[in-house]
Structure 1
Amino acid sequence: MSAVLVVHGGAWAIPDELAPVSVQGVKAAARHGSSVLRSGGSLVDAVEAAVRALEDNTVFNAGHGATLKIDGEVQLDAIIVDGKTLAFGSVSCVKNIANPVSLARAVMEKTSHVMLTGRGADKFAESIGIAMVPTDKLVTECERKEWEKHKKYIAAVNEEFNTQWAHDTVGAVALDSAGNVACATSTGGTRHKMVGRVGDSPVIGCGAYADNISGAVSCTGHGESILKVTLARLILSHVEQGKSVEDASQLSLQHMGDRVQGAGGAIVVSPSGQWAATFTTKRMAWAAAEDDVLWFGIDPKEKLKEKLSL
């Protein structure tokens, strides 16, 4: 069985002018994560590296590309999961951390807890030497302008989600040749969100889940909707019932749309090597490294490939 690594850059109405750089970004992240696996790194190393690459790319809403909450500051969430041991690390409402996925991993490996939030998570970051980054280093000028432009729409979070100026999450899932899985998800949240708002990304079974028994998932989309249906765990429950990862993703996203009128996407990999990148939004940038092939796409039904060069 081949190792597989899949990444996404968020499911939303990606405008034409951002489509090429979004695809380039996910392809680079998939290559980076795959190179970690090929050089002997662990699955957790690989998904962390892939998500860090996305956090460092200002095209995406995580780390350096984060959106601004209602008070004009940055608030970040992330999670990382080892499907072999069910080790979880999660952080929510952290301030000005360039790579929150690495802080989540530190929670998993350096504490006896699963999730740290807010001031406590920030103090933990400081205690292990993770420096805070000034807001103007994480937020692009474009985001600052969009935040100012759309202040008047802050009462219409659900209605705004699929507009051209919505912005979303990043994530990665991976499988090794032994059938082990892992995943990670990171986000800068929703523009103009309330102070203290936590979306799906850092919540176990919602924004991410991984278990060697069934597979690994990273979700993206309207956070409140994903939380209501526990999307990541819902997808894997369908896999456990014998559905393919593609069908499991489509059924779960359709259920979310029917039940709570939410749109989103997911990347999934199973212990048998199946993988899928599925979404109900206008677009989702994704890429998958498998054997010597790099698969990628951004539009519905699109599945392009090129030789995987590392």
Structure 2
Amino acid sequence: MPHPRSAPFLLALSLLAGGCTTPAPPAAPKPGWALAVHGGAGVMDRETMSAETEATYRAALQAALNRGTAVLDKGGSALDAVEAVVRGLEDDPLFNAGRGAVFTADGRNELDAAIMDGGTLKAGAVAGITGIRNPITLARAVMEQSPHVMMIGQGAERFGAEKSVEKADPSWFFTEKRWQSLKKTLTERGLPIPPRPPGVGPEPVPLAQGDGLPEDRKFGTVGVVARDRAGHVAAGTSTGGTTAKLWGRVGDSPIIGAGTYADDKSCAVSGTGTGEYFIRLGVAREVCNLVGYGGKSLQQAADAVIQKQLTALGGDGGVIAVAADGTLAWSFNTSGMYRAMAAEGQKPVVAIFKGEP
């Protein structure tokens, strides 16, 4: 006869009494890391994008995912992953951030960036800076090594020099494609064309051909959201702004709550699009509010803001987002958005056009 305290004996008593004991189900596994990346939204159609250009952008997005997952898979923080991915995108001339940034009407590259830690709600941002190779790193320095949230222009650059943030000559940021786009835009507006930047050499003959995409209908801002194994989320965004923008113009990317926001209690968001509309709507914070207080899922919240509020106002662009539980989402109201996502134990997704996963 089984011992009175043995499991078989207790089960037998339960069955005799007309009941049944069922072992408690194992606890659900804790969500692992999750990551999403965007490289800008706009008019991106299969019919106008060459196969070579498409393959180049897909490879760049996959490389961005690889940088982030390398950090997260080793137990790194969401904040570290965000900075690592954005730095790589800032160094890639394909995107309008850091190297490859568009030019202002004065023929300068003026850069904006922001980063936010969802666990502490600490944030750092810089705007209108030149000569800093990786604006996202300067934004993080503002967050971690100053009492401020945002610094701009020469003051931010001076702070970067004090903190040994890497500098770069103007020629580092130059790309011929962006320069020709500036000339075209200024000519259309009847504005004077500034002198070609020093150190970049003469214009090539013949000029390099573009990829067939209208430059003024693409938004090359880059951004990353991440959730680490500890359950913390973070967001980062970096941009060169808009082609031929007026002096002193600042878009949504460095504005906490507009283009960038992160809170462990709801989600992390990074946006890309016509910044003036994102600022007016407070797009990033609005998505988080709908998740945290509105009872909506992450996808529902992103769609409500982008497909309804932003569209109704006449703005265009998109967002990527990650919730505190590791759920990922994106939404955009343009024909395409350079985007990618990956989560621990899941197959990564890289997409460009509308209708892709």
TM-score, structure 1 normalization: 0.92
**What is the alpha-carbon distance in structure 2 between the residues aligned to residue 178 and residue 128 of structure 1?**
29
What residue ranges of structure 2 are gaps of 5+ in the alignment? 1-30, 191-212
**What is the Cα deviation at residue 246 of structure 1?**
1.2
**What is the alpha-carbon distance in structure 1 between the residues aligned to residue 185 and residue 229 of structure 2?**
47
2:348 pairs with 1:294 = yes
Deviations along 1:96-138, one digit per CA (max 9) or x if unpaired, are 2221000000001111111101110011111122243222211
Which has more strand, going by share of residues?
1
**What is the Cα deviation at residue 88 of structure 1?**
0.3
CA contact (8 A) 2:134 2:166 kept: no
Amino acid at match of 1:244: S
**What is the alpha-carbon distance in structure 2 between the residues aligned to residue 186 and residue 52 of structure 1?**
9
Q: Number of aligned pairs? A: 296
**Residue aligned with 1:273, SS:** coil
CA contact (8 A) 1:2 1:291 kept: yes
1:129-140 matched pairs, under 5 angstroms: 129-140=164-175
**What is the alpha-carbon distance in structure 2 between the residues aligned to residue 16 and residue 97 of structure 1?**
32
The residue number in structure 1 matching 2:324 is 271
2:214 pairs with 1:164 = yes
**What is the alpha-carbon distance in structure 2 between the residues aligned to residue 171 and residue 204 of structure 1?**
13
The residue number in structure 2 matching 1:225 is 277
CA contact (8 A) 1:256 1:263 kept: no
The residue number in structure 2 matching 1:10 is 40
Give the root-mean-square deviation of aligned CA atoms.
1.5
1:80-95 matched pairs, under 5 angstroms: 80-95=115-130
2:146 pairs with 1:111 = yes
The residue number in structure 2 matching 1:307 is none
**What is the Cα deviation at residue 153 of structure 1?**
4.1
**What is the alpha-carbon distance in structure 2 between the residues aligned to residue 223 and residue 109 of structure 1?**
26
Which is greater in Rg?
A: 2
**What is the Cα deviation at residue 211 of structure 1?**
0.3
Deviations along 1:26-51, one digit per CA (max 9) or x if unpaired, are 11111101101112321111000011
What residue ranges of structure 1 are gaps of 5+ in the alignment? 156-162, 304-310
**What is the alpha-carbon distance in structure 2 between the residues aligned to residue 296 and residue 277 of structure 1?**
12
**Residue aligned with 1:298, SS:** strand
CA contact (8 A) 1:27 1:286 kept: no
Change (3 A) 1:69 1:275: same
Moved more, 172-181 or 61-70: 172-181
**Residue aligned with 1:122, SS:** helix
The residue number in structure 2 matching 1:59 is 94
Amino acid at match of 1:210: A
The residue number in structure 1 matching 2:4 is none
**What is the alpha-carbon distance in structure 2 between the residues aligned to residue 154 and residue 249 of structure 1?**
35
After superposing on structure 2, the runs of 4+ consecutive aligned residues of structure 1 that deviate more than 4 Å are none
**Residue aligned with 1:74, SS:** coil
**What is the alpha-carbon distance in structure 1 between the residues aligned to residue 83 and residue 187 of structure 2?**
36
**What is the alpha-carbon distance in structure 2 between the residues aligned to residue 264 and residue 113 of structure 1?**
29
Instruction: State the identity %.
Output: 41
**What is the alpha-carbon distance in structure 2 between the residues aligned to residue 97 and residue 19 of structure 1?**
29
**Residue aligned with 2:253, SS:** coil
**What is the alpha-carbon distance in structure 1 between the residues aligned to residue 74 and residue 230 of structure 2?**
16
2:301 pairs with 1:248 = yes
CA contact (8 A) 2:72 2:229 kept: no
**What is the alpha-carbon distance in structure 1 between the residues aligned to residue 349 and residue 323 of structure 2?**
17
2:201 pairs with 1:149 = no
Amino acid at match of 1:198: V
CA contact (8 A) 1:81 1:182 kept: yes
Amino acid at match of 2:40: G
- Corresponding residue to 1:261 among 298, 314, 320: 314
CA contact (8 A) 1:31 1:289 kept: no
The residue number in structure 2 matching 1:174 is 226
- Corresponding residue to 2:80 among 13, 33, 45: 45
**What is the alpha-carbon distance in structure 1 between the residues aligned to residue 118 and residue 58 of structure 2?**
27
**What is the alpha-carbon distance in structure 2 between the residues aligned to residue 255 and residue 152 of structure 1?**
35
**What is the alpha-carbon distance in structure 2 between the residues aligned to residue 63 and residue 284 of structure 1?**
19
**What is the alpha-carbon distance in structure 1 between the residues aligned to residue 290 and residue 75 of structure 2?**
32
The residue number in structure 2 matching 1:191 is 243
**What is the Cα deviation at residue 154 of structure 1?**
4.8
CA contact (8 A) 1:226 1:256 kept: no
**What is the Cα deviation at residue 189 of structure 1?**
0.5
**What is the alpha-carbon distance in structure 1 between the residues aligned to residue 309 and residue 320 of structure 2?**
16
